[in-house]
A and B are shown apart, each in its own frame.
Chain A
Amino acid sequence: MKNEMRLEFISVSRNESFARATVAAFVAQLDPTMDELTEIKTVVSEAVTNAIIHGYHNHEDGKIVVDCMITDDAEIEIKISDEGTGIHDIEEAKQPLYTSKPHLERSGMGFTIMESFMDSLEIISEINKGTTVIMKKQLTKTKTVCH
């Protein structure tokens, strides 16, 4: 069951819930477990929040694009892109508890959560061009037995 969708919205924090709910609705066709659905919603929320806070520094006129693909094999790929300021040091940004904005009470766990809830995480970033986060996850296929 190959399928894909694209979602584009502006960098308004209200869209964080819109983005994760929409991706969850799209992924629902793979009949994910509750845990898988929670993980996917969480990582979408983390990446979109990063784009809003760090990519666009809370300016509400940036564009965020979410591309979502599912394969015949129940693998899901989620790509979340912004055209914001980019990340200076990706390895530093990925460190647990690291945050570039401690005054905003950020926990610094965003990338750590993305890494541990998904099978893979790839970050592509260029200063003043933007950041793209690509995450993949193989969902369990135990339920698709009766055809």
Chain B
Amino acid sequence: MVRVSNQFTVKENVLIVRLRGEIDHHETLALREEWQTYLRENNIHHIILNVEDVTFMDSSGIGVLLGRYNEIAKNGGQFFVCSIHPQIDRLFAMAGLYKIVQTAKDEKSALTMLGVAS
């Protein structure tokens, strides 16, 4: 199986995370570490999560998103999810994710809402 890597980009105090491929329990083991390292080593206040290239996600993926949400929310940071497609939307809606995170059409509009020039 081809393993596609996730991509992390820092823009000012915003961490942009582009998840790729299938986000299940197995994949979250490495993803959580990598994500936490980026949060720790940069002065991150907000997160923008781009799920455009996510082909599959289950409740393990939701668990990792909620974990990172909690990390930045305790410092007053905002968590945006963008580029949501219908398959991911069903899972997010069912898991109640929209009651917690904010949504944006794409990365650019999320950055605008955070007052960061893209």
Q: How far is the CA of A20 from the CA of B25 in the complex (A)?
A: 13
- Given A49-B24, A107-B66, A109-B94: A38 and B60 interface contact (C-beta under 8 Å): no
- For B63, the chain A residues whose CB sits under 8 A away are 104-107
A41 touches B56 (CB 8 A): yes
Q: Number of contacts between A and B (CB, 8 Å)?
A: 67
A13 touches B25 (CB 8 A): yes
- For B32, the chain A residues whose CB sits under 8 A away are 105
- For B59, the chain A residues whose CB sits under 8 A away are 46, 49, 106-110, 113
Residue of B25, B26, B64, B66 with highest tally of chain A CB at under 10 A = B25
- For B1, the chain A residues whose CB sits under 8 A away are 17
Q: How far is the CA of A14 from the CA of B64 in the complex (A)?
A: 18
Q: How far is the CA of A13 from the CA of B1 in the complex (A)?
A: 14
* Interface size, A (range): 20 to 34
Please classify the interface of chain B as helix (H, G, I), strand (E, B), loop, or mixed, using the class held by over half of its residues.
helix
Closest A residue to B21 using CB positions:
A17
Q: How far is the CA of A20 from the CA of B58 in the complex (A)?
A: 11
Please classify the interface of chain A as helix (H, G, I), strand (E, B), loop, or mixed, using the class held by over half of its residues.
helix
* Interface size, B (range): 20 to 34
- For A93, the chain B residues whose CB sits under 8 A away are none
Q: Indicate if B62 sits at the interface (CB-CB under 8 A).
A: yes
- For A81, the chain B residues whose CB sits under 8 A away are none
Closest A residue to B68 using CB positions:
A105
- For B62, the chain A residues whose CB sits under 8 A away are 107, 109
- For B64, the chain A residues whose CB sits under 8 A away are 105
- For A105, the chain B residues whose CB sits under 8 A away are 28, 32, 63-64, 66-67
A-B contacts, 13 of them at CB < 8 A, read: A13-B25, A35-B87, A38-B90, A41-B56, A45-B58, A46-B58, A46-B59, A49-B24, A52-B25, A106-B63, A107-B60, A107-B66, A109-B95
Top-9 shortest CB links A-B? A13-B26, A107-B63, A109-B59, A105-B67, A107-B62, A49-B25, A45-B58, A105-B63, A107-B59
Residues of B within 8 A of A (CB): 1, 22, 24-26, 28-29, 32, 56, 58-60, 62-64, 66-67, 87, 90-91, 94-96
Residues of A within 8 A of B (CB): 13-14, 16-17, 20, 34-35, 38, 41-42, 45-46, 49, 52-53, 96, 104-110, 112-113, 116
